Structure 1
Amino acid sequence: MSRPRTLLSVAGVVIALALVLTMVLILGDAKSPKPVPEAGLDSLVTDFTARLSADQEYRSPKADERRTAAAGFAALLDRRSTPELAKLGFSVRDGVDPATGRPYTIAVNEPGTERAWGMYVLDRSAPPSLAVEVPHPAFDLRTELFGVDLFRRTPGAVLLVAGAHRKADGTKADVAHQEDSVFHVMATALAGRGLAQVQLHGFHDENLPSTDLVLSSGATVAGDPARRAATHLTADGFAVCRAWEERCGALEGTTNVQGKLAAADDTVFLHVEMSRTVRESPERRADVVRGLVEAGLARP
């Protein structure tokens, strides 16, 4: 009789230990949930732009706020702390883009308020090399996707995405034509460091039916980078209107304030207008981005 009782006793202990271990594992999982995978930059950017609309809140930053933004962005570029950006409602954090494995720092404006001043992403795998600008998200549809793709193909790129629809606040949120914006402050900082700017726009097919892309240097003189971009994109099968050689309707970007900035700083500015058909095609998007990369716009 003692042997069976001993076996039953041992079995009871084993069962009790198993129950305790199960409870520990369950409680441990409850206290330590599995980490959520890092969202890709394309998701972060499209989620950001999806909230923009013509009737959203927006106000232009005051002069002292623009000075604060300039100081904060300079600190961000130099990898210093950025209390100035926090004062303006920006949240700043580091991340890693799963698509490239490269680290980045992202600064995003305060959501749902009139301080709709943009999203700025710095690739940290290399020194700053190229300003990739999306001034009209949610208006020039899909241009933010081109911006993300070009950013991903360019180590050291800085992505600038406006924080409001261009029609917000009676078009005062149109950062491509308003100097009193945080977007322009950021572009000024990058141009001041000698970086080329590539600015992405879109047009309706019927506005220039025989054209896929319009390339312009805005207020600057078209140099070798713009001409190389036109050559590469033409070789990829695009019908390219070169604004420095022919008239391209109202799509030449000559009044663009970032282009005027580049002219004053003697830096490169490339204004890229894309038809709706081009913007709706992932394959054509890849071709546009490849052509821009091959043009060698980024600072080595």
Structure 2
Amino acid sequence: MVDLRSRVLSYTRGLRRDGPYSPPGEDERRRLARGVGSLLDGDAHEAERLLGPIGLGVTRLTDTESGRRYDEIAATGTGASDRWGRLYLSADSRIRWSAQVPHPVSDRDTEALGVRLLEGTPGGALVLAGAHRLAGGGAGAADVAHREDSAFHGIVVELQKRGVPGIQLHGFARSTTDRYDAVLSTGAAQSAPGEVSALADRMETEGLRVCRGWSARCPLEGTTNVQSRAAKRQHATFVHLELAPRARGEGRDADGAATAVAGLLSTWTGG
């Protein structure tokens, strides 16, 4: 039994902007993709066989608070693979949605929102980057939302190949814009399915000021995001959500934002 929230957040608390980071090599990415695919297809033994040689393992966890079970892919040691990130999958039902956190700590409290969504809605996957976006020398190597050579990207693509819709969580600074509390878009797709428009409606009902990227010119629309481009190629639903500080963490609109996103996930699960 583990406290899932504490387990995830204790990992992200160790991420530093001056920390080390090096992406997995081509062979490691290929093995990772096969291992993640095996776990998604229900073969944990094969996933372990594939992931072990690159420093990753599969652990079945039971959350102390909810009693729900999750499968975790994480590093088994403290080498380079510990900075590649983690994957958490609901083990009690088929995976129907994913929450993606490419910039934990850097985009403050997006990691906490990701855990909250995973705990609150069955059938989910949480894809978590393992380094501050400025780690590894600050040249952009760890900015996994714009890098196809990351473990994060490979995991997201495996989910997309199986038709799993995803929402990617970002945060913006007050200095970026004070007109909006949330910027909602579909990245490279530039169009929105009905459930994404409904998410914008729910956020506005919760009192948030929302810019809709498919019908207005918005900052931070995620059009250069490599996971959004991959989703377009895979014909998978991708949602890019940018939240102001007050819509994250202890901000006054944080609960409203989380409630609205949970409604989207419930739609994806058929609820």
TM-score, with structure 1 as normaliser: 0.83
- The letter for the 1-side match of 2:34 is A
- The letter for the 2-side match of 1:244 is W
What's 2:147 paired with?
A: 178
Name the CA distance, whole Å, in 2 between partners of 1:264 and 1:297: 23
What's 1:90 paired with?
A: 56
What's 2:207 paired with?
A: 237
The 3-state SS of whatever aligns with 1:206 is coil
Name the CA distance, whole Å, in 2 between partners of 1:135 and 1:99: 26
**Are 2:187 and 2:225, in contact at CA under 8 Å, matched by a contact in 1?**
yes
The 3-state SS of whatever aligns with 1:43 is helix
1:190 matched to 2:159? The reply is: yes
- The offset of 1:285, in angstroms, is 2.8
1:52 matched to 2:15? The reply is: yes
1:165 matched to 2:125? The reply is: no
The 3-state SS of whatever aligns with 2:106 is coil
What's 1:40 paired with?
A: 3
1:100 matched to 2:66? The reply is: yes
The 3-state SS of whatever aligns with 1:171 is coil
Q: Deviations over 1:125-153 (max 9, x none)?
A: 21011011000011001000110111112
Q: Deviations over 1:255-297 (max 9, x none)?
A: 0011001111111111110111221326633322221122345
Name the CA distance, whole Å, in 2 between partners of 1:285 and 1:84: 39
Q: Indicate how the Cα distance of structure 1 residues 178 and 229 shifts in structure 2: closer, same or farther if over 3 A, else same.
A: same
Name the CA distance, whole Å, in 2 between partners of 1:226 and 1:243: 11
Could you list the runs of 5+ residues in structure 1 that have no partner in the other structure?
1-37
How many pairs are equivalent?
262
The 3-state SS of whatever aligns with 1:105 is strand
Deviates more, 1:51-60 or 1:139-148: 51-60
What's 2:168 paired with?
A: 199
The 3-state SS of whatever aligns with 1:205 is coil
**Are 1:154 and 1:298, in contact at CA under 8 Å, matched by a contact in 2?**
no
Name the CA distance, whole Å, in 2 between partners of 1:87 and 1:199: 29
- The letter for the 2-side match of 1:171 is G
- The offset of 1:225, in angstroms, is 2.1
The 3-state SS of whatever aligns with 2:214 is coil
What's 1:120 paired with?
A: 87
- The letter for the 2-side match of 1:124 is A
Q: What is the correspondence of 1:211-250 to structure 2 with a 5 Å cutoff?
A: 211-220=180-189, 221-249=191-219
- The offset of 1:111, in angstroms, is 5.0
Name the CA distance, whole Å, in 1 between partners of 2:231 and 2:150: 16
Deviates more, 1:277-286 or 1:255-264: 277-286
Q: What is the correspondence of 1:48-87 to structure 2 with a 5 Å cutoff?
A: 48-80=11-43, 81=45, 82-87=48-53
**Are 1:196 and 1:299, in contact at CA under 8 Å, matched by a contact in 2?**
no
Name the CA distance, whole Å, in 2 between partners of 1:84 and 1:43: 28
- The letter for the 2-side match of 1:164 is A
Name the CA distance, whole Å, in 2 between partners of 1:203 and 1:283: 16
Q: What is the correspondence of 1:126-165 to structure 2 with a 5 Å cutoff?
A: 126-165=93-132
- Within the candidate set 230, 240, 256, 1:261 is matched to 230
- The letter for the 2-side match of 1:139 is S
Q: Deviations over 1:51-96 (max 9, x none)?
A: 1112222111111111100111112112321221111111321111
- The offset of 1:40, in angstroms, is 1.6
Q: Indicate how the Cα distance of structure 1 residues 277 and 214 shifts in structure 2: closer, same or farther if over 3 A, else same.
A: same
- The offset of 1:239, in angstroms, is 0.6
TM-score, with structure 2 as normaliser: 0.92
Q: Indicate how the Cα distance of structure 1 residues 268 and 297 shifts in structure 2: closer, same or farther if over 3 A, else same.
A: farther
Q: Deviations over 1:155-214 (max 9, x none)?
A: 110100001111122221111000011111110110010011100000112211121111
